[in-house]
Chains A and B, each alone.
Chain A
Amino acid sequence: MRITQGCFSFLPDLTDAQITSQAQYCIEQGWALGIEYTDDPHPRNTYWEMWELPMFDLADAAGVVRELVACRQAHPEKYIRINAFDSTHGWETVRMSFIVNRPAREPELVLTRQEGPGRNQIYAMTVRPAS
């Protein structure tokens, strides 16, 4: 099941050239780029593992791509995303985030319902490993 989260995730996977130019766009906006990876794509899992430190003061996307290549080598079967953090006063948040690597076979998200008190429906999403 194809996981969709962040920018561009309904599009076909970005090529490396596209990733480079997106990263360059972020750099030109003055955002700091960070690379994160995880094996748990649950939408509520907001804490992905950091790959190295966030990159400040870059001028060119080649630096990000270099780290991305290293991260892919180390974690080919995990989700990897690039986050762009805007430190401008008033924003101070991630402005852009997109997935740049997926496992060959993605896990599935399964929705389970449960009957609560007063016939209240409780919904839970769980990740089922790729079978």
Chain B
Amino acid sequence: MDMRSEDMLSGDLSPDGRPAGPIDLQAEFTESEIGSVLDALDAELVGLKPVKLRIRQIAALLLVDRVRARLGLTAGAPSLHMSFTGNPGTGKTTVAMRMAEILHRLGYIRRNHLVSVTRDDLVGQYIGHTAPKTKEVLKRAMGGVLFIDEAYYLYRPENERDYGQEAIEILLQVMENQRDDLVVILAGYAERMETFFRSNPGFRSRVAHHVDFPDYGDGELLDIAGRMLAGQNYRFSASGEAAFRLYVEARRAQPHFANARSIRNALDRARLRQASRIFALGRPLSVEELTTLTEEDILASRVLTQGGALGPAGQGG
């Protein structure tokens, strides 16, 4: 930061002899361009209040730490390992993908890259296979973010000789000793993560940030649907949107509701119906017709027509 002259004259010196006058955090904030990252996060992700709040807190802490470090007030790198818990489709993976970029912009990690793994990538198939596999993944993730999806699968209490334990031990060791090199994000459904943390207390104490992803409200889901469609160059007709509002309400009451993921699946199926509907028209089409999802595309859904009689996959129709 540019020390202004009145700061220089304040005469108050920090331990390393540099002036420690009033510090303009706002200027620091503007300079770091963190604002644009956070604003983009706010604009592009619907809802998720607690998540955004936590990210802002982390951003503030890193910023303050940076200013403090400049004055010789070292505090050691904060531990940024996180756990994301929440129901299916609440945006855990999406946020994790953004996390690498955010932490990189904040200067906490050196590379803007994220390695996304599941149990299969970490745990081996036979004795002696797990350690090299886990280490290889860790090496690839160094300098960035390691995202472990459905982390509870690492621990299988029913099989005491499961190799998952070995992967967990290596992970814990790296999480502790190489905090500067790697940020680990664990994600999964809330209750199962709770069990996982209970049986691996080492993990709980090394994960500093437990972020809970709330379910989306109906309005938020509609908003998400609108954005998904816009991204694919589709839109609802006015009646189509009203129909989709009904759909969301009906779908929520049914089992296996997966928030944004259910919405995406519903939209994909609506696109299928729209395609066959306009195909059956058998006449030249306008661009308008190609891009509009109407009421009939939505109302034909089994969720609405059969009062929730779902297929075996529980996907809704």
Contacts and interface: CB of A to CB of B under 8 A. Distances in A.
Interface stretch (B78-86, B135-143, B264-272, B286-294): B135-143
A53 B136 CA distance: 9
Interface stretch (A40-48, A60-68, A97-105): A60-68
A1 interface: no
Nearest to B181: A62
Interface string A50-85: 001101011111111011000000000000000000
Interface string B119-140: 0000000000000100010111
A62 B142 contact: yes
Contacts of B132: 52-53
Contacts of A52: 132
B111 interface: yes
B122 to A, nearest CB: 15
Contacts of B111: 59-60
A52 B138 CA distance: 14
Chain A contact-residue range equals 10 to 19
A82 to B, nearest CB: 14
A58 B140 CA distance: 5
Contact of B178 (A57, A61, A62): A62
A4 B269 CA distance: 67
B113 interface: yes
B144 interface: yes
A51 to B, nearest CB: 12
B204 interface: no
A52 B135 CA distance: 11
A19 to B, nearest CB: 15
A57 B142 contact: no
Q: Which of A53, A57, A59, A67 has the most CB of B within 10 A?
A: A59
A59 to B, nearest CB: 5
B110 interface: yes
B178 A66 contact: yes
B188 to A, nearest CB: 25
Interface in B127-180: 132, 136, 138-144, 178
13 contacts: A52-B132, A55-B136, A59-B143, A60-B142, A60-B143, A60-B181, A61-B142, A62-B110, A62-B142, A63-B142, A64-B139, A66-B142, A66-B181
Q: Which 10 pairs, one residue from A and one from B, show the smallest C-beta to C-beta distance?
A: A60-B143, A63-B139, A62-B142, A62-B181, A63-B142, A60-B142, A59-B111, A59-B113, A60-B111, A57-B140
Interface of A: 52-53, 55, 57-64, 66-67
